[in-house]
């Protein structure tokens, strides 16, 4: 096969990982490719797919790294972290960022046993960096991971409460592991495919999908102790969300989706058909988003809005400096 490009802008990495060893692997015991139908062939959903989707996403930002003395006199790493989670709702002629559901969180994460809260004020605004010890964290990178986890937890929490309204399809960024008791119409969409699950023979179908088509649903058995609703495992399928022009790898516009097996195969089929029809409409264009087409257009707008809500990075850094200087005096 000749050289093909992968779609994302390189600073964002790639939209997929391709473990050759795994790809060569024979049938995996935990994956059942015949759970929906016997033939592994493209499925083209028929019928109307009403646009009524809520997409949950979050952004985070490390404002500053710090080093402090802990109680025992040993150095302790700190991280001034900001993150925001929110939801964008799409209906015909009415896409909007649900401002009342957006929340911004500031934390001072640290590896020590105890630290002070830091409150920055500017005019009538108040940025409250609440101190939080991260257990077992040793390095600054551990703190960044903790920030990511906190954001993902907040996303999951928000998605869970939103999914109680089942008149909406709720799309969650990433796998559904973080949700505890979601509603029945929740789908996780995996922008960056880490694990393909499908054996090489079946995977050959993926490059041939056209926008609007999906693979049949396959099941992934639960492994170990996970979230309660995933006790029975997950259903998953691939959809093509965009046909990319030029020498772009044919897997570039393919996205994996998953839902809980608790919704039943019929419920999963509805969700799979809906996403196959809807997602190509929501896919972003490379001129708009460096992570096109996987980073959906509404998601990109939500991220821009949330980043805006985080505040001006340079201004926060300066406020932080002056606050710390005041502490030294």
The residue ranges that bind another protein (CB under 8 A) are 51, 88, 90-97, 124, 281-282, 287-288, 297-298, 301-302, 304-305
Nearer to another protein, 96 or 130 (CB): 96
Residue found by looking up tokens 């391709």 in the block: 18
Closer residue to another protein, CB minimum distance, 17 or 96: 96
Q: Tell me how far, at minimum, the Cβ of 252 lies from another protein, in Å.
A: 21
Peptide bond preceding 293 in cis form (omega within 30 of 0): yes
Least Å from the CB of residue 324 to another protein: 27
Q: Whose Cβ is closer to another protein: residue 116's or residue 128's?
A: 128
Query: Helices marked H in 19-87 — which ranges?
Result: 20-24
Nearer to another protein, 102 or 198 (CB): 102
Residue pair 176/189 in contact (Cβ under 8 Å)? The answer is: no
Burial class of residue 158 (count of CB atoms within 10 Å of its CB; 0-12, 13-18, 19+)? buried
Q: In the complex with another protein, which residue's Cβ is closer, 88 or 263?
A: 88
Other residues' Cβ atoms within 10 Å of the Cβ of residue 185: 22
Cβ proximity of 231 and 222 under 8 Å: yes
From the CB of 97, what's the least distance to another protein, in Å?
A: 5
Cβ of residue 136: shortest distance to another protein, in angstroms? 39
Q: Looking at the chain, which runs of residues are DSSP E strands? A: 31-32, 53-69, 75-90, 96-97, 103-110, 118-122, 125-133, 169-173, 186-190, 218-220, 234-240, 254-260
Residue 229: other Cβ atoms inside 10 A: 21
Please report how close the Cβ of residue 158 comes to another protein at its closest, in angstroms.
Answer: 16
* Closer by beta carbon to another protein, 51 or else 140: 51
Provide the minimum distance between the beta carbon of 159 and another protein in the complex, in angstroms, as a whole number.
Answer: 18
Q: Report the 10 Å Cβ neighbour count for 116.
A: 11
Interacting residues of 240 by C-beta distance below 8 A, sequence separation 6+: 209, 210, 211, 212, 213, 214, 253, 254, 255, 280
């Amino acid at each position: 096969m000749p050289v093909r490009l992968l779609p994302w802008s390189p600073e964002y990495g790639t939209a997929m990982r391709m473990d050759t060893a795994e790809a060569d692997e024979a049938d995996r015991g935990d994956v059942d490719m015949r759970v929906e139908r016997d033939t592994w062939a493209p499925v083209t959903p028929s019928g109307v797919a009403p646009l009524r989707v809520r997409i949950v996403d979050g952004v985070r930002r490390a404002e500053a790294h710090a080093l402090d003395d802990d109680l025992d006199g040993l150095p302790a790493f700190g991280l001034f972290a900001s993150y925001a989670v929110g939801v964008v709702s799409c209906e015909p002629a009415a896409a909007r960022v649900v401002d009342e559901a957006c929340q911004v969180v500031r934390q001072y994460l640290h590896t020590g046993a105890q630290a002070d809260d830091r409150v920055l004020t500017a005019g009538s605004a108040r940025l409250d960096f609440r101190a939080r010890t991260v257990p077992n964290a040793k390095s600054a990178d551990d703190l960044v991971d903790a920030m990511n986890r906190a954001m993902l937890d907040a996303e999951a929490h928000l998605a869970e409460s939103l999914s109680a309204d089942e008149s909406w399809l709720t799309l969650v960024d990433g796998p559904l592991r973080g949700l505890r008791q979601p509603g029945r119409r929740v789908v996780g969409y995996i922008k960056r495919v880490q694990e393909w699950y499908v054996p090489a023979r079946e995977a050959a179908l993926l490059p041939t999908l056209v926008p609007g088509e999906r693979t049949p649903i396959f099941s992934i058995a639960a492994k170990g102790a996970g979230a309660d609703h995933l006790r029975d495992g997950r259903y998953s399928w691939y959809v093509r969300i965009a046909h990319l022009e030029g020498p772009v790898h044919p897997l570039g516009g393919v996205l994996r989706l998953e839902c809980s097996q608790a919704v039943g195969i019929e419920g999963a089929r509805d969700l799979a058909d809906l996403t196959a029809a809807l997602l190509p409409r929501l896919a972003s264009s490379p001129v708009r988003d460096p992570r096109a087409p996987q980073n959906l257009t509404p998601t990109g707008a939500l991220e821009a809005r949330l980043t805006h809500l985080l505040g001006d990075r340079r201004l926060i850094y300066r406020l932080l400096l002056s606050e710390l200087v005041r502490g030294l005096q």
